[in-house]
A and B are shown apart, each in its own frame.
Chain A
Amino acid sequence: MNQRTIYLDNAAATRLDERVLQAMMPYFLDTFAVATSQFGYSLGIEAKEALERSRATIATRLRAPADSIVFTSGDTEASNMAIKGVAMALGHKKGRHIISTGIEDFAVLHSVRSLARQGFEVTRVALDEHGRVDLEALRAALRPDTILVSIQAANQEIGTLQDLQAIGGITREHGVLLHTDASHSFPRVELDVTQVPVDLVSLTGHLSHGPRGIGALYVRDGTPLTKWMDGGFQEGNRRGGVENIPGAVGFATAVELVTPEETARLQGYRDRLTTKLLAIPESRVNGHSVERLPHNANVSFRYVEGESVLLHLDLRGFSVSTGSACFSRSLEGSHVILGIGGDHERAHGSVRFTFGRYNNDDDVDAVADAMADVVTKLRAISPLGKE
């Protein structure tokens, strides 16, 4: 590629911030020892201190106590740990019923599916057309043998935010644990666990300019959770395995660098881009217009297919994502768009644009112009929409 790539797929991965890399470097090259107890050698003690500082930084962002944070290899592991850990802890005591949604990211979706295959019962709670949980349906779905409700904080594709305060109110009232996958919202969207009654929260470092391979699970004190990543006594005996200290330091540094001002800037891009894209005929927003991730725009264009859009945009130097079946690894249309009552055509024509730190105002205009051009080009050869 000769021109600069305008990267608009920050919900898939983000560019590492140089300051994050600088913060991590010493823990590869100098303080590289494993974290040791306070009775270990200095290098290990220093490593342990760095790990605990990182833990405290991330905990603070959630207004949680430091020891409620368990570092993992990412949000996928965190969600597996939460869902399967609760199932193992309560499956033989309280019951085997789990409530979730059909639009979760694959870590949650497939963890729940895997439990269903082992005899757990799963209820997928109804959603409205924007992807928000129907609170009455949730209330009605709760049973005496319900052990866990797992509902994401924000959707990975359409950006819709859930009303966790209300959801948590209901689960708390019924004495049921609530897990939320906040990997797409944290730390841009505030989550205060002293206010919001969630018990388990999945987090990741790689979607906010931190490194890949590091994430965390917030575990509210007293939450029944069976350890299944067996190994040593690391992470308060909740997850075996040598700690990823450079990763933890990178994650914490990345979290600190995300500011409300920056997030407001991205939200401005989102809103401006959405307005421009909706000027293209036969287009519509996917997800909620207000209660959505500040850096996510998702629009469907009729009569065109997303993989073709993506490739034409790539040839022009833009990186975006689509919910089209042709683009997916299973040749299935986006389970999210289908899950909110959209049809295959809407899924195929959906394009997701997600902003990050390294985008600017010009990117918005450039991609909007390119989109208008590509949609026109593809509609010209489409058999649809020309009656």
Chain B
Amino acid sequence: MSTLPYSEIVMDHFRDPHNVGRIEDADAKSVEGSPACGDMVAVYLKVDEHEQRIADIKFESYGCASNIATGSIITDLAKGKTLEEARNITWQQASDALGGLPAIKVHCSVLAVDALRSAIQNYEERHGLVTEQTPTTLDELRRRLKHVMNPAVGLDIVRTKLVSELALDDGVVRVVLDLSSDHQFGNNIREEILERIEPLWDVHSVDIVFGRD
């Protein structure tokens, strides 16, 4: 199987994923992605309230091999960690633990990490650990855009300078991309940006402009 694009570790997790399934009486859960965008990960947590530690974690995946493998590895990495430790797990760590992912598949590890963080956030919200909704800032937008991958190189679109302009005005976000709309990954990047920014509570619309058109 030397010709497969995936490492042996990815293949092992794909064939026999760890921590698969649901926790029926979960303390928190999250779903990232949607059937419409193709990748979807659901994460369920049981938290030791006293120690703020992840006692049990399970995931479900609707997606490709790297989606399944990253769901498996991220739950392995998070199990037994405190919420604070688990929140700081990065997609890079997940990817490294899998022996690397092909550039075009890095976004799958980002999705798994986001699902874990959302589940932790969900726990905190449910348990009154989050007090108020903070208004969206340009920094928050930039942070979220750093979770959108440029599939050509497997690095985020901010770092690879695909975002040539970013503005936030009265709930309207404007993102100008240094791409033409018929770029190979144009539609994919557009949908990923919408997926990251639209859920923000105070964002009403997202305007994505292909600057090279």
Residues of B within 8 A of A136 (CB): none
- B residues within 8 A CB of A383? 31, 40-42, 60-62
CB-CB < 8 A to A303: which residues of B?
62
B31 touches A311 (CB 8 A): no
- Asked whether, in the complex, the Cβ of B185 is within 8 Å of the Cβ of A331, the reply is yes
Q: Whole-angstrom distance from the CB of A373 to the nearest CB of chain B?
A: 13
Segment touching B, from A37-45, A167-175, A271-279, A341-349: A341-349
1/0 per position for B119-144, CB-CB distance to A under 8 A?
00000000000000000000000000
Interface size class on chain A is: 20 to 34
Which of A305, A329, A332, A344 is within 8 Å of B64, CB to CB? A305
User: Are A307 and B64 in contact, with the CB atoms below 8 A?
Assistant: yes
Contact A348 B61 (CB under 8 A): no
Q: A182 to B182, alpha carbons, bound, how many Å? A: 26
Q: B65 — which chain A residues lie within 8 A by C-beta?
A: 307-308, 311
- 0 or 1 for each of A356-385: is its CB under 8 Å from B? (1 = yes): 000000000000000000000000111110
Number of interface residues, chain B, beta carbon within 8 A = 31
Q: Which of B63, B67, B104, B151 has the most CB of A within 10 A?
A: B63
Give B26-64 interface residues, CB cut-off 8 Å to A.
Answer: 31, 35-42, 60-64
- Confirm or deny: B188 has a beta carbon within 8 angstroms of a beta carbon on chain A: yes
Binds A, one of B14-22, B76-84, B194-202: B14-22
Q: Are the C-beta atoms of B35 and A345 separated by less than 8 Å?
A: yes
- Cβ–Cβ < 8 Å partners of A381 in chain B: 17, 20-21, 60-61, 68
Q: B160 at interface (Cβ–Cβ under 8 A)? A: no
Separation of A348 and B14 alpha carbons in the complex (Å)? 18
Question: Which residues of A have CB within 8 Å of B63?
Answer: 305, 308, 326
Residues from chain B with Cβ under 8 Å of A343 in the complex: 35-36
Q: In whole Å, how far is A250's beta carbon from the nearest beta carbon of chain B?
A: 27
Q: A305-B38, A330-B185, A332-B187 are in contact. Are A382 and B62 (CB under 8 A)?
A: yes
State whether the Cβ of A325 lies closer than 8 Å to any Cβ in chain B.
yes
Q: Check B38–A382 contact: CB distance below 8 A.
A: no
Q: Is A166 an interface residue (CB 8 A)?
A: no
Contact B61 A325 (CB under 8 A): no
Q: Is A139 an interface residue (CB 8 A)?
A: no
Q: Which residues of A contact B15 (CB under 8 A)?
A: 315
Distance (whole angstroms) from the CB of A344 to the closest CB of chain B = 5
Instruction: Kindly state whether residue A247 has any CB partner on chain B within 8 Å.
Output: no
Residue of A1, A305, A380 near B1 (CB, 8 A) is: A1
A324 within 8 A of B: yes
CB closest chain-A residue, reference B149? A331
The answer to whether A333 has its CB under 8 Å from any CB of chain B is yes
Among residues 309 to 341 in chain A, which have CB atoms less than 8 Å away from a CB atom of chain B? 311, 314-315, 324-327, 329-333
B184 close to A (CB within 8 Å): yes
* Known contacts A330-B185, A381-B20, A383-B31; A344 and B38 CB within 8 A of each other: yes
- B20, B38, B39, most chain A CB atoms within 10 A: B38
Would A382 and B60 be within 8 Å (CB), given that A324-B38, A344-B37 are in contact?
yes
Q: How far is the CA of A314 from the CA of B5 in the complex (A)?
A: 13
Inter-chain contacts of A305 with B (CB < 8 A): 38-39, 62-64, 67
A303 and B38 CA atoms in complex are apart in Å by 10
Enumerate chain A residues within 8 angstroms of B184, measured Cβ to Cβ. Answer: 329-330
Kindly list the 4 A-B residue pairs having the minimum CB-CB distance in the complex, ordered from nearest.
Answer: A326-B64, A383-B60, A307-B64, A383-B42
Q: List 21 A-B contacts (CB under 8 A).
A: A1-B1, A304-B62, A305-B67, A307-B64, A308-B14, A308-B64, A308-B68, A311-B64, A324-B38, A326-B39, A327-B64, A330-B185, A330-B188, A332-B188, A333-B38, A343-B36, A344-B35, A381-B60, A382-B61, A382-B62, A383-B42
Task: Contacts A303-B62, A307-B64, A381-B20 known; list 19 others, CB within 8 Å.
Answer: A1-B1, A305-B38, A305-B39, A305-B63, A308-B67, A308-B68, A324-B64, A326-B39, A326-B63, A329-B184, A330-B184, A343-B36, A348-B38, A380-B20, A383-B40, A383-B60, A383-B61, A383-B62, A384-B62
